[in-house]
Chains A and B, each alone.
Chain A
Amino acid sequence: MDILVFVKRVAATQEEELRLIDDGKNIDLSKIPFKMNDWDNYAVEEAVKIVEGQGGSVTAISIGSAESDEVLRRAIAMGSKDGILMETQEAIHDPALRAQAIYNFLKKEDIKFDAIFTGVQSEDDQFAATGGILAGKMDLPYASMVIGIDAIENGYFVLRRELEGGLQERIKIKAPCILSIQSGINEPRYVSIMGIRKASKVERKTFKFNDFASRGDAIIDLIKWSYPEKKGGATMLTGEMDEICKEILEILKKKGVC
């Protein structure tokens, strides 16, 4: 089975302060570390596991700046056969534009596949939409929130989708199809620095994003960003570690739980 996996390089902002600049038209990411989108890590692992079991190949594809080569190398170190970069220096804020470019690319370059995997969402824009839009455009069956692939038989995936509150549904879906993979589906393998270095020797092809779609094709516009509305927020406990902890215990006692 030949699987294409879309991977994205995202800013790891969890522990960082995000600063809006240019009147909210941009976010200053200059001091923020980048990494592979968490969900894509699970998607690559799942694809590699399938191919290890039954043969075929995994190709990692990324849309982004030249630095996105990092995440392609990581995907190769995890077991992908090769990598493709659709290079653009501009950030793309419309998932429909992203899907349109992918659609045009796959058609024009005549790329063959049995399945396309994406992560459920990317950590930066949290759209969770590119896989679904692409499936709609390509007229392929689609499933998101895939939390377990139980079997691949007679051209069908039997898989579980995660719903709310711990409930799952089992469905059958025909290949070729597009699946968006949920975190926790597997345990992504450890990748060593050595592994990533070795991956540098594997071929990665680069294409120009603009040859397949242009920014003017976006059908939604990002006007600007803003900080969240403050909701009043918490009473902050400050001071020495010792005092803070005593205060915490005091609160617990007052609430009658400790």
Chain B
Amino acid sequence: MSYALIISEVRRGVFEERNLDSIGMAHLAGKDAFLLIPEGNYNLNNSIVNKIIKAKLEESLFLNPLIITELISKIIGTLGAPEIVIFTHSSSGIELASYLAGKMSLPIITDVSGYDRNEQIFFKSYYSDKVFGQFKKAKESPLVITVRSGSFKDHVTEKGKNAEEITVDGPSGIEERSFVEYVEEEKTGVDITKAEFLLSLGRGIGNKDEIPKFEELANLMKATISGSRPVIDKQWLPKERQVGTSGKTVKPKVYLAMGISGAFQHIAGMKDSECIIAVNKDPEAPIFQYAHYGIVADANKIRDKLKDLLQG
């Protein structure tokens, strides 16, 4: 029987919403959806998958690549090989999927954001969404994929009945890799998620010396400054200002993005803003696909002009 094995991601007891994209992918591909999940109580609609496989092991072991690989091969031993193994394209999803693919010599395609059902072709981003590669597996074998969050959840449909549940024993912990603890980001003064107006800066502003000039503009406009990941990595701005999957999710009234290309990890953190204005030198920058207003220009020149106008 051809089924999709969906490896769910649960973190601190929460069934992550991006799992719906994995389930939607299985539905779009027309496969029975078998959901693998560590034992526990989650907020999960039982009728959107065909089978729930509950693994008797702690979450931190479930998310350990060395352990989940063992668990998956055990499941395949019992249920037969799936057509496709689906993970989320997240920090842990990528880690688990690539390790599994290597260990079991399976083909892998990551960051899948589109699927052509007739041709069985998977679309994945290249160069931060400037182009997309169309891939197929070249070997008769289960395929491993990670799916981009937000891409497939609209394909989730109800099956009309509750999933059958089975329980499997999980492997025990190992010393090669073990979980120690969670580390929370330090809480500091600013909370960009509370701001109504964000002036968000990307690598395109050029260098650290430009920051004070943007701060002056922010003061004049009463905006709060935020930034993309490279700006934080380079320590032009502190970590608490980062927008995106590994930073904060923001929904201000206005998001003014200057010199930001629009990689999905960034977009995921700001796409629900009420009004997005993007300034970018490159007319093909992916951010223009998500913005309400776009300006093809040098961000630093726009900044200086806005300052002039505001200072009257």
Contact = CB atoms under 8 A, between A and B. Distances in A.
Interface stretch (A46-54, A82-90, A93-101): A93-101
Interface string B278-292: 100110101011111
A219 to B, nearest CB: 4
Contacts of A236: 288, 293-296
A248 B279 CA distance: 11
B130 interface: yes
A154 to B, nearest CB: 11
A22 B277 CA distance: 35
B137 interface: yes
A164 B246 contact: yes
A234 B288 contact: yes
B230 to A, nearest CB: 7
B272 interface: no
Contacts of B297: 241, 244
Nearest to A42: B233
Contact of A223 (B92, B134, B248): B134
Interface in B80-118: 90-92, 94-95, 97-111
Given A136-B69, A223-B121, A255-B253, A161 B91 contact: yes
A42 to B, nearest CB: 8
Interface stretch (A60-68, A105-113, A137-145, A192-200): A137-145
B233 A184 contact: yes
B209 interface: no
A160 B232 CA distance: 18
Given A228-B289, A234-B292, A14 B128 contact: yes
Contacts of B125: 126
Contacts of B233: 42, 183-184
B30 interface: no
Given A126-B125, A219-B138, A172 B184 contact: no
**Is the contact region of chain B dominated by helix, strand, or loop, or is it mixed?**
mixed
Given A128-B98, A136-B69, A184 B229 contact: yes
A237 B294 contact: yes
Interface in A229-258: 230-238, 241-242, 244-246, 248-249, 251-252, 255-258
B200 to A, nearest CB: 14
A137 to B, nearest CB: 5
Interface stretch (B48-56, B161-169, B302-310): B302-310
A218 interface: yes
Interface stretch (B35-43, B152-160, B175-183): B175-183
Nearest to A13: B127
Nearest to A224: B134
Nearest to A10: B127
Nearest to A99: B102
Given A143-B177, A257-B254, 9 more contacts: A144-B95, A160-B183, A165-B245, A165-B248, A172-B180, A184-B232, A230-B289, A241-B302, A257-B196
Interface of B: 11, 65-66, 69, 90-92, 94-95, 97-111, 121, 123-139, 141, 175-185, 196-197, 203-204, 221-223, 229-230, 232-235, 239, 242, 245-249, 253-254, 256, 261, 274-278, 281-282, 284, 286, 288-297, 301-302, 305-306, 309-310
Interface of A: 11, 13-18, 20, 27, 38, 42, 93-96, 99, 123-139, 141-145, 158, 160-174, 177, 180, 183-184, 187, 218-228, 230-238, 241-242, 244-246, 248-249, 251-252, 255-258
